[in-house]
Chains A and B, each alone.
Chain A
Amino acid sequence: MKLSRREALWFGLGGMAAATLSNPAFAATVEELTAAFTAGAAPAMDGITLTAPEIAENGNTVPIAVEAPGAVAIMLLAAGNPEPSVATFTFGAAAGSQMAATRIRLAKTQDVVALAKMADGSIKQASATVKVTIGGCGG
Chain B
Amino acid sequence: MISRREFLQASVAASAIVGISGFGNWSKLSAQQALTQDQLLQFDDFGNVTLIHITDIHANLKPIWFREPEWNIGVGSAKGQPPHVVGKAFIDMFNLTPASPEAYALTYEDFEALGKTYGRMGGMDRVATVVKSIRAARPDAILLDGGDTWHGSMTSYLTKGQDVVNVMNALGVEAMTSHWEWTFGTERVKEIVETQLKFPFLGANIFDLEWDEPAFEPYTFFERGGVKIAVIGQAFPYMPIANPKWMFPEYSFGIREDRMQEVVDQARAEGAELVVCLSHNGFDVDKKMAGRVKGIDVILTGHTHDAIPEPVLVGETILIASGSHGKFVSRVDLDVRDGRMMGFKHKLIPIFSDVITPDAEMSSLIEAERAPYKADLETVVAKSESLLYRRGNFQGTWDDVICNAVMSERDAEIAMSPGVRWGASIMPGQDITREDIHSVCSMTYGQVYRTEMTGETIHTILEDVADNLFNPDPYYQQGGDMVRIGGMGFAIDVNKPIGERITNMTHLKTGDAIDPAKSYVVAGWGSVNEGTEGPQIWDVIESHLRKIGTVNLEPNTSVAVTGI
A-B contact number at CB 8 A: 115
Contacts A57-B241, A137-B465 hold; do A3 and B479 have CB atoms under 8 A apart?
no
Chain A residues whose CB sits within 8 angstroms of the CB of B526 once the complex forms: 1, 136-137
The CB with the most chain B CB atoms within 10 A, among A51, A63, A135, is that of: A135
CB of A28 within 8 Å of the partner chain: no
Residues 243-257 of B, flagged 1 when their CB comes within 8 A of A and 0 if not, give: 101000000111100
Contacts A1-B418, A109-B498, A139-B419 hold; do A54 and B528 have CB atoms under 8 A apart?
no
Contacts A131-B476, A136-B418 hold; do A3 and B529 have CB atoms under 8 A apart?
yes
Contact (Cβ within 8 A) B416 A1: yes
With A and B bound together, what is the CA distance between A64 and B180 in angstroms?
27
With A and B bound together, what is the CA distance between A138 and B421 in angstroms?
8
CB of B481 within 8 Å of the partner chain: yes
Contact (Cβ within 8 A) B457 A3: yes
Chain A residues whose CB sits within 8 angstroms of the CB of B532 once the complex forms: 4
CB-CB nearest in chain B for A101: B212
Contact (Cβ within 8 A) B464 A3: no
List B497-545 residues whose CB lies under 8 Å from chain A: 498, 522, 524-529, 531-532
* A133 contact from B252, B468, B522, B524, Cβ within 8 A: B468
* A4 contact from B236, B241, B451, Cβ within 8 A: B451
With A and B bound together, what is the CA distance between A63 and B254 in angstroms?
11
CB of A7 within 8 Å of the partner chain: yes
Contact (Cβ within 8 A) B241 A1: no
Contacts A6-B529, A57-B253, A134-B461 hold; do A51 and B421 have CB atoms under 8 A apart?
no
List B424-449 residues whose CB lies under 8 Å from chain A: 449
With A and B bound together, what is the CA distance between A51 and B257 in angstroms?
10
With A and B bound together, what is the CA distance between A137 and B475 in angstroms?
16
Contact (Cβ within 8 A) B241 A3: no
Chain A residues whose CB sits within 8 angstroms of the CB of B395 once the complex forms: none
CB-CB nearest in chain B for A136: B528
Contacts A1-B526, A3-B449, A133-B241 hold; do A139 and B461 have CB atoms under 8 A apart?
no
CB of B238 within 8 Å of the partner chain: yes
Residues of chain A at the chain B interface (Cβ within 8 Å): 1-7, 11, 51, 53-58, 63, 109, 129, 131, 133-139
Show 21 A/B contacts (Cβ-Cβ < 8 Å), sorted by A. A1-B525, A1-B527, A2-B527, A3-B461, A3-B527, A4-B451, A4-B529, A4-B532, A6-B529, A7-B461, A58-B245, A131-B467, A133-B464, A134-B465, A135-B238, A135-B464, A136-B527, A138-B236, A138-B238, A138-B242, A139-B480
Beyond A11-B457, A137-B481, 13 extra complex contacts between A and B, CB < 8 Å:
A2-B461, A3-B451, A4-B532, A6-B529, A63-B212, A131-B471, A133-B464, A133-B468, A135-B242, A138-B236, A139-B242, A139-B480, A139-B481
